[in-house]
Amino acid sequence: MIDFQTDPSRYRHWKIAFDGPIATLSMDVDADAPLLGGYELKLNSYDLGVDIELADAVQRLRFEHPEVKTVVLRSAKENVFCAGANIRMLSKATHGHKVNFCKFTNETRLSIEDASAHSGQRYLAAINGAAAGGGYELAECADYIMLIDDRRSSVSLPELPLLAVLPGTGGLTRLTDKRKVRRDLADVFCTTEEGVRGKRAVQWRLVDEVVAPSAWETKVRERALTMAATSDRTGTTGIALTPLARTITADEITYPHVRARLIRDQRRVEITIKGPTTLPTDLAGLHAQGAAFWPLAMARELDDALLLLRLNEPDLGLIVFRSEGDADTVLAADRLLDTHQSDWLVREVTLYLKRVFKRVDMMARSLVTLIEPGSCFAGSLAELVFAADRGVMLAGRRSGDNKEVAALSLSPLNFGAFPMGNGLTRLQTRFLGEPDSITAAQAVIGQALLADDAEDMGLITFAYDETDWDDEVRMLLQERASFSVDSLTGLEANLRFAGPETMETRIFGRLTAWQNWIFQRPNAVGETGSLKRYGSGLRPDFSTERV
């Protein structure tokens, strides 16, 4: 099983050091500690295990170190920053693993950019060696890139000439959309194995500054302090991201607030979210609870469950979301987040919820949310209704059932706190071209909407009464499980991200789709393809047929 839980005491590939407002995150990959085995992680090349540690470090810097305002990304090895994704790993991995590796790596890179944009924790890449492929892509995520001018250090995206693949963790898109590199120069850069160094790297906007070796350390620190001075982070004492309480069996993954039931014979997972039972009454109590504060605890558990399912359970192609609890208490949690949004910790919790809901959007699984009596899809949890491909609600109660009638409630957070990758809220995406529907939804914030009203407002797909509920839900789930999973993935990926295209949607919707296709083509992964013949001394044998 591939597990995503770790902590700094178990890191094999990264080192963290602190100096006032500056944290230095140094890449020092242990070549003899690959995640899957059968290859060496030479030259700071990485696999999923390296990136799991990076994702954990980025998360801990945000929650455990509010005093940190600049993070310096650098290498602890001489003459190499990072050689990118490990080629032997890519040649041995299954197609599904390569796809999910790229997806998780992209999500981690985007979380770095999210920290820069919204958390006041800026990133500085200090390239002290060769930064190739995914190594340069990692640097591209930073706000500012410094390159030592030692005649050896360079930046490159050599995937096309060397491996017959693409810079699949966002390299191409960040060149054009973020760093605004001219298209023809980007073409030259991406077809040149040796890369670019020195002043030309600055002229082409591949880096922001080149520095002589004699001034390197001084300049890096000066730049980091200058960036720290622009930060709006105000916290001084962080909270500990304590280990998750988790039980895993053959058919269930259980946490205090999340339960995932694996129904293998029907190829689906039922994820039930338990609402809060108690909440702090003020900001001091929220800080005292720390990682136990329900929105944060629930988000961490749901995130972990999604990642475990993504990498370890590829045959379970349908996720059904359910919830249990008191909707008013969920809305009370939202009020805490909304009222204290200027607090650094509250801001981080809200931003983390945003990232987890984005992870839901990016699951290559069909998503169905069932709103039943006793459920608590309110406010932030209602995002799981709007993220779903179908949202279905039971009208009224079941006979002999004394649970609260099914209802759906909105909070102010549904209207801006959790944007999707397209930059719009899920309600804005749902109601493209229907501004009156957004206005109508805002008018009922805090109200418990019953099935008929929720259906009339377009907030759910269908409402069924007790007579039809069991049959309609059964047919929906069985039909979904009977379709081609490939076709469903394409359908869902296209329909979920309506509206404007952003750098993020281009990375996932365009770049990743092409990379996934290329990863199945013989020029890359065939017996005579580049990934298989790399390092063997044999030239790849390419098919010349354009498709």
pLDDT digits (tens, 9 = 90+) for 203-258: 999 999 999 999 999 999 999 999 999 999 998 899 999 999 999 999 999 999 99
In 355-441, DSSP assigns E strands to 366-371, 390-394
Q: Strand 14-19 and strand 22-27: pairing?
A: antiparallel
Residues facing residue 339 across a β-bridge: none
Where does CATH 3.90.226.10 sit in the chain? 8-228, 247-485
Amino acid identity for residue 505 in this structure: T
Identify the CA nearest to 344 among candidates 15, 120, 148, 84.
120
Give the orientation angle of helix 294-312 with respect to helix 327-339, to 10 degrees. 110
Amino acid identity for residue 17 in this structure: A
Residue 243's contacts (CB-CB under 8 Å, 6 or more residues apart) are 5, 7
Contact of 452 with 406, CB cutoff 8 Å: no
d(CA 511, CA 50): 22
Contact of 429 with 499, CB cutoff 8 Å: yes
Residues 464, 465, 468, 474, CA torsion sign: positive
Q: Whole-model pTM?
A: 0.96
Residue 426's contacts (CB-CB under 8 Å, 6 or more residues apart) are 357, 383, 386, 387, 414, 418, 420
d(CA 21, CA 29): 25
10 burial via Cβ count (<10 Å: 0-12, 13-18, 19+) = exposed
Residues facing residue 45 across a β-bridge: 84
Domain 8-228 belongs to what topology?
Answer: 2-enoyl-CoA Hydratase; Chain A, domain 1 (3.90.226)
Query: Tokens at residue 37, please?
Result: 């085995």
Query: Tokens at residue 449, please?
Result: 């909407």
User: pLDDT tens track of the chain, all 547 residues?
Assistant: 999 999 999 999 999 999 999 999 999 999 999 999 899 999 999 999 999 999 999 999 999 999 999 999 999 999 999 999 999 999 999 999 999 999 999 999 999 999 999 999 999 999 999 999 999 999 999 999 999 999 899 999 999 999 999 998 899 999 999 999 999 999 999 999 999 999 999 999 999 999 999 999 999 999 999 999 999 999 889 999 999 999 999 999 999 999 999 999 999 999 999 999 999 999 999 999 999 999 999 999 999 999 999 999 999 999 999 999 999 999 999 999 999 999 999 999 999 999 999 999 999 999 999 999 999 999 999 999 999 999 999 999 888 888 999 999 999 999 999 999 999 999 999 999 999 999 999 999 999 999 999 999 999 999 999 999 999 999 999 999 999 999 999 999 999 989 999 999 999 988 888 999 999 999 999 999 999 999 899 999 999 998 8
Residue 306's contacts (CB-CB under 8 Å, 6 or more residues apart) are 356, 359, 360, 363
Q: Which pLDDT does position 400 carry in this prediction? A: 84
In 76-195, DSSP assigns E strands to 80-82, 84-85, 122-127, 130-132, 144-148, 155-156
Residue 479's contacts (CB-CB under 8 Å, 6 or more residues apart) are none
Residue 449's contacts (CB-CB under 8 Å, 6 or more residues apart) are 407, 408, 409, 410, 457, 459
Q: Which pLDDT does position 446 carry in this prediction? A: 97
Q: Which pLDDT does position 47 carry in this prediction? A: 97
DSSP 3-state of 391: strand
Q: Which pLDDT does position 290 carry in this prediction? A: 97
What stretch of H or E contains 63? helix 48-64
Statement: 247-485 belongs to CATH 3.90.226.10:
yes
Q: In Å, what is the CA distance from 428 to each residue of 51, 81, 261, 493, 542?
A: 33, 41, 31, 17, 46
Amino acid identity for residue 356 in this structure: V
In 205-248, DSSP assigns E strands to 209-211, 247-248
Residue 405's contacts (CB-CB under 8 Å, 6 or more residues apart) are 373, 396, 397, 450
